[in-house]
Structure 1
Amino acid sequence: MTTAERQWRDGSGGAGHLQHVAGNAVFTWTQTAYRAYIDHARGCATCPVDSGRCATDEELWSLYRATTS
């Protein structure tokens, strides 16, 4: 399974080029991790009140950041 792939992009009036894009699996993991983070933030009683973040929020954010690096 590849984490990234190259897709051909036509140039506007010029030569085209290959562009590095995330593969479907990476995109799905990233979207799933971000959705979990957002869903938590909406339902958490601590996150909106406390200036810091709760432990769950920090863990979900770390998981999301891991999928984007």
Structure 2
Amino acid sequence: MSGVRRVWRDSGSACGHMQMVADSGMFNRVQTTYRAYIEHATTCDDCGHKERRCAEADQLWRAYRAART
């Protein structure tokens, strides 16, 4: 993923670990696109739970997936 880096985290009394951290620009893009998808899915009468989504929801989901890469 672009916009992601690994940083060392000291866990105190045990061994530390590497953690993936997204930069703020990537985080904002992912959050914005996911929020748009969720807001649409909760108000759209054509979108149901599980695998049923309307064309607009499919487009919003693709935008969210693209923002994550």
Match of 1:44 in 2: 44
Higher RCO (C-alpha 8 Å, min separation 6)? 2
Deviation of the 1:6 alpha carbon: 3.5
Match of 2:9 in 1: 9
Match of 2:28 in 1: 28
Choose 1 or 2 for highest CA Rg. 1
Distance 2:48 2:18 in 1: 43
Provide the aligned C-alpha RMSD in A: 2.4
Ranges in structure 2 where 5+ consecutive residues have no aligned partner: none
TM-score, normalising length from structure 2?
0.74
TM-score, normalising length from structure 1?
0.74
Distance 1:6 1:56 in 2: 35
Aligned length: 67
